[in-house]
Amino acid sequence: MLKKFISFFLLLLFVAAVQAQQLVLPGDNPDPSVVKIGDTYWASATTSNWGPAFPLFRSKDLVTWKQQGAIFNELPQWADYYFWAPEITYDKGRVYVYYTAHKKNGSLCVGVASADRPEGPYRDHGPLICQEAGSIDAFPMRDEKGTLYLIWKEDGNSIGQPTPIWISEMNEERTALIGEKRELFRNTEPWESNLVEGVSIIHHGDYYYAFYAAAGCCGIECTYMSGVARAKTLLGPWEKYNQNPILTSNEKWKCPGHGTPVEKDGKWYFLYHAYDAKSGPYAGRQGLLQEFSFTSDGWLSFIKQPVSAKDHANYSVSDDFRGSGLSDKWQWNVFQKLNYKLIKGNLELSALPAESGAFVGQKTYTADYIAETTVSVAKSAAEAGVAAVGDENNLVRASIYRDTLRLAVIKGGVPVFIQEQTLKTKDKLTLRMQVKNGKDITFLYGVPGKELKVFNQEPVDGSFLPPWDRAVRAALISKGDPEKTAVFERFVLKDLNQ
């Protein structure tokens, strides 16, 4: 009996020690930011090379979020890719979004857009700062006198240099920085490794508090952690907490960091990202919420509670293409021009001749999932298929063109055709992509409503798919002449265990 009591007591201690990292933005939502406007919270996240750029989410409770469009349906004219770290803010009745993007023929820059309402439309004001090494991860803040400043990171780690966090006064129109920049702090501590980034700041009591991330953000070998620094004035001097890092990996969530603090009902929360330990980079960095409090010695501490059961929930998506346009869940490649029509419950996706074809994708949520579509073979003049897509140069697809079913792996832009089979189907064909462990990919096919047959007995290894800053999408593919289309009747994405 005593042994049972001791075991139970130790279990309670273990559960109580688990940080309550609650999953609130499932799927690939890196670098989330959040702001309260009226009685509603608004959030956004990195999209990198997926369009539209920067999804908009709204919530009343910080936990249940609904997507409502995006900040940029059309990309800013000055930028071409790497749409990162949108910081959504509200000041004097106007919404501002500070974001990172790669300038055409240039470097990474911090830009800004604004809107009268959080749902937009947003007007882009162009880049504010473009350093040679790159300028990223912007955050606005007013000092104790009300003067407006911009804080950002110089991306020195990209060229083997330190990563100073800079601050500069900004005009009220948000069109220019004013005066000389000053350094707040940089990566100096062993745990920070080669960078500090993702700074967000609040003012509470006697101090400004800067949340920041450090070390390696991304991929299977990530080492990301979060720390905090404080100062009595915004310009410093800044003091790093001697108990840093304050947010680290646990058995469920790996490499936590880059988020925004927000207040709700007198309590403080941090919205940030981390990798699910099982799905890792395949499902990407997902949005988590955790409560924190301020300590008697003027620092802060994350509150430790049991892991929420919601972290293990299943997620599913279905689309019968009967709306007036594609749902907010669909994304496309920023290097491709999306061209489609929705006609009588069919998605007619215009093709591209590139090896990847044209594609539209959806975020995945778990390591084990199914993506399924029904192709109208009779109506499709282009090659039509379902695929796991990392980017335009790395994907695995099964596709049907006329009477030929084909399995192809495109790696580094080079296609390798694994197998093909002649089919008698002339009308409709169901294609299913079954993924296990995030990377083991099997395709099945068959007549709608009947049992499906396995196409490739040996799963394709998709471990090469995730780009360093993104996750895998389940996608529909249309390959061929741009004047031709592939026609899809439905799409389903669900947990393999449902």
Annotated catalytic residue within 31, 87, 276, 383? 31
How many C-beta neighbours within 10 Å does residue 11 have?
10
Structure tokens at 278: 């099982």
Distance, in Å, from the CA atom of 150 to the CA atom of 415, rounded to the nearest integer, reads 45
- 10 Å Cβ neighbour count for 439? 21
221 noted as active-site residue:
no
Closest alpha carbon to 130 in 158, 108, 159, 157: 108
Q: In the β-sheet with 165-170, what is the strand arrangement from edge to edge? A: 135-142, 148-154, 165-170, 177-185
Alpha carbon distance 370, 390 (integer Å):
16
Tokens 């994708």 correspond to 361
User: What CA–CA distance (Å, rounded) separates 23 from 289?
Assistant: 6
Known catalytic residue at 391: no
Cα separation, 128 vs 136, in Å, equals 11
Q: Look up tokens 């003091």; give the residue.
A: 239
Q: Give the rounded distance of the alpha carbon of 388 from its chain centre.
A: 17
**Catalytic one among 28, 137, 197, 348?**
197
Give the position of tokens 């869940």: 329
| Coil vs helix vs strand at 352 | strand
Strand order from edge to edge, sheet including 225-231: 196-204, 207-214, 225-231, 239-240
Terminal C-alpha separation, the chain: 39
The candidate with the shortest Cα–Cα distance to 89, out of 122, 63, 61, 64, is 122
Residues with catalytic function: 31, 197
